[in-house]
Structure 1
Amino acid sequence: MLHRLFCAFFLLIILQGCEKKDDVKMMYLAHTLPQTHPVHKGILEFKKALKLKSGGKMDIKIFPDGQLGSEREVLELLQIGSVAVTKVSAATLSNFVPEYHVLGIPYLFRNKQHQFDVLEGEVGKSILEKGSKFWLRGLCYYDAGSRSFYTSKKAIRTPEDLKGLKIRVMNNQMAINMVNSLGGSATPMSFGELYTALQQGVVDGAENNPPSFVSSNHYEVSKYYTLDQHSSLPDVLLIGTKYWDTLSDEEKVWVQESADESSKSQKVFWNDSVNESMEIAKKAGVEIIIPEKALFQEKSKPVLEAFEKEHPEMSGIINKIKNQ
């Protein structure tokens, strides 16, 4: 709490002195990822496009590496207007905007193309707009790949192999329910603690996308990677409505078009990063397992059924996605 308040106070001082300098309107963007990450590279394209479209009238100052706090803390800074833009996982955002929960349903998307069609179509745009009532306006989605299981001592080839295994998950109810439905024991834990937990056997495995599996060095202590691809939660580029409402109509067009262009570039960066990460993992001796995904999909169906029962108001969104 004190950290968040300090960040807010610090940024308010900056914004008062530097929001517009030499006729350049500066947007402040904070995120938690390293500068080598494909999402950060996408954000650099956002900055480049905005500067070009505005003829140098607008620019972005980026605060990467969690300099201004966790994803949740930065979201709160957006809500009070201290930061203009951020990138967060749809999982984190679902704690603020309930509709984002839908995107975490296991095996909701048939394939990558179906996911992109949904996110860039009517349903995806509608969900982006839902955040406005919480002062968090979605600009576009970034590819965050598909999450799969990795383990340290036992390979997962079928859902039965998960039985009795402690699997680290995000502190997200959908992720917890998904692992438990497959027979594992979901164990919420900070990502920063996970390497040591895997190394010491506190947990038996975890689940994440290939770039995160490699950049975190978890491939050093987890020698089995099962590409079951159970969820495909995107990242979301957001702008706080308190800042958005200060922009002219022309400036809003520049920002939105720049975000859309950066989303296209980021997909390429992400795909390259996945290929590179898989090669690194293979060379390090990680066994890559391609399971029969239908087995995992069938076993995880109760997660969708329970979600629809608890949130009947979301059924319309789910049906639109299924039928697209």
Structure 2
Amino acid sequence: MPQTTTPRLLAALLGAAALSCAQAAEFRSADIHNSDDYPTVAAVKHMSQYLEQKSGGKYKIKVFNKGALGTEKETIDQVKIGALEMTRVNISPMNAVCAKTQVPTMPFLFSSIEHMRKSLDGPVGEEILKSCEDQGFVGLAFYDSGARSLYAKKPIRTVADVKGMKVRVQQSDLWVALVGAMGGNATPMPFGEVYTGLKTGLLDAAENNIPSYDSVKHYESAKYYSKTEHSMAPEMLLMSKVVWDKLPKADQDLFRAAAKESVAFQRKKWDEQETKSLAAVKAGGAEIIDVDKKSFQAVMGPVYDKFMTTPDLKRLVKTIQDTK
């Protein structure tokens, strides 16, 4: 009987192939975003160019975006066992894998994008990335994912306006608790199902950054984008520790340098994309709503109590809050 090989099975079968060759090694990196020029996709391609140049052609990275190698959770599982070399994921799916990744996900932790960048570029960011090594992941970098806000079929100006609304959230306990604290009915579902959910009335609202709101045209069904900016949770670029441990120390240093170089590139692309997307959603009929942010911040205590439960986690939160 003939057998077909799916992209995900192929990824597993070819997992160690890149390293088995004595010549140039082409590592694979996964991403779920559809656009070939999306900031995270473009950033890893930029990292590959830097790596290829600095290594004299010894290493390069091929980006498989559009979910070609699976969902974020599936690519995380592949990276853990070394069946896939790298993946770019939102930090939220990693919350259940290494506890310290919950810290940058916490609501209203960062006062601004500049505060977020300064915090994650420093010792706190390094500690959080390093904390994933025990679970089989080498954290190479944090990428920007902007500020996430609520968008709905009606304007949301205070936390009282969220009461009883069916709000799509990421499939994460923390996000369910966050929307629950606002008084909403959290509805976890994959990102790809949100457009239909909003259109059919299964959802009243969702939350995301402006480029995502734009890219899948959620503004067609939820035209009120309320700037709660409740989360600035970053993206993560992860490498398999199985693969990493086979690299000479000098090459590991090269990968870290290439990842760091790609962060500045990604941030520039992200800022440009936000400006472009904001103009696009406004042209599409979206209304940007200012909110009483303090009313939202005031109800987040229980979320911190539930998830920031150890001295280490509380220390990291305080260090970020104290970062100027």
Q: Which category describes the TM-score, using the shorter chain as reference length?
A: over 0.9
Cα deviation per residue 1:143-191 (whole Å; 9 max; x = unaligned)?
A: 0011100002x11011111111111111112211111111211111221
> Superposed, which structure 2 residues align to 1:74-93 within 5 Å?
74-93=75-94
| Match of residue 207 from structure 2 | 207
Aligned position for 2:217: 217
Q: Secondary structure at the match of 2:146?
A: coil
Q: What's the CA shift string for 1:47-78, capped at 9, x where partnerless?
A: 11111111111111221111111111111111
* 1:14 paired to 2:14: yes
Runs of 5+ consecutive residues of structure 1 not aligned to the other structure: none
* Structure 2 match to 1:307: 307
Q: Deviations over 1:108-137 (max 9, x none)?
A: 111111111111100110010010000011
Q: Report the CA distance between 1:45 and its aligned residue.
A: 1.0
- The letter for the 2-side match of 1:220 is E
User: RMSD of the alignment, in Å?
Assistant: 1.7
What SS does the aligned partner of 1:65 have?
A: coil
How far apart, CA to CA, are the structure 1 residues paired with 2:161 and 2:319? 33
Superposition pairs for residues 62-211 of structure 1, below 5 Å? 62-152=63-153, 154-211=154-211
Residues 227 and 290 in structure 1, CA contact (< 8 A), matched pair in contact too: yes
CA contact (8 A) 2:141 2:236 kept: yes
Question: In the TM superposition, what is the alpha-carbon distance from 1:14 to its structure 2 partner?
Answer: 3.2
Determine whether 1:27 maps to 2:27: yes
Shift of 1:322: 1.5
Q: Assess if the C-alpha contact under 8 Å between 2:15 and 2:82 holds in 1.
A: no
1:261 alignment counterpart: 261
Check the 8 A contact 1:20/1:26 in 2, yes or no: no
Task: Tell me, yes or no, if the aligned pair for 1:100 and 1:127 is still in contact at 8 Å.
Answer: yes
Which deviations, in whole Å up to 9, do the C-alpha atoms of 1:10-38 show, x marking residues without a partner? 23543565546682122111121122311
Match of 1:38 in 2: 39
- For 1:202 and 1:71, how far apart are their aligned partners in 2? 24
Q: Give deviations 1:246-272, integer Å, cap 9, x for gaps.
A: 111111111110000001110010111
Residue 319 of structure 1 pairs with residue 318 of structure 2: yes
| Residues 265-280 of structure 1 mapped to structure 2, 5 A cutoff | 265-280=265-280
The aligned amino acid for 1:10 is L
Whether the 8 Å contact between 1:140 and 1:236 is mirrored in structure 2 is yes
Question: How many pairs were matched up?
Answer: 318
Would the aligned equivalents of 1:8 and 1:82 in 2 still touch at CA under 8 Å? no
**Hey, what's the Cα distance between the residues in 1 that align with 2:237 and 2:16?**
24
Q: Distance in 1 between matches of 2:226 and 2:276?
A: 17
User: Which structure is higher in helix share?
Assistant: 1
Alpha-carbon shift at residue 300 of structure 1 (Å): 2.2
Q: Is the 8 A contact 1:29 1:86 kept in 2?
A: yes
CA distance in 2, matches of 1:164, 1:16: 50
Moved more, 15-24 or 79-88: 15-24
Corresponding position of 1:297 = 297
Q: SS where residue 63 of structure 2 aligns?
A: strand
SS in 2 for 1:299: coil
What CA deviation, in whole Å up to 9, does each residue of 1:242-301 have, x standing for no partner?
000111111111111000000111001011111111101111111101213222112223
**Cα offset for 1:7?**
5.4
TM-score (norm 1): 0.93
Percent identical residues: 33
Distance 1:16 1:133 in 2: 20
| Contact preservation (8 Å) 1:167, 1:186 | yes
Q: Which runs of 5+ in 2 are unaligned?
A: none
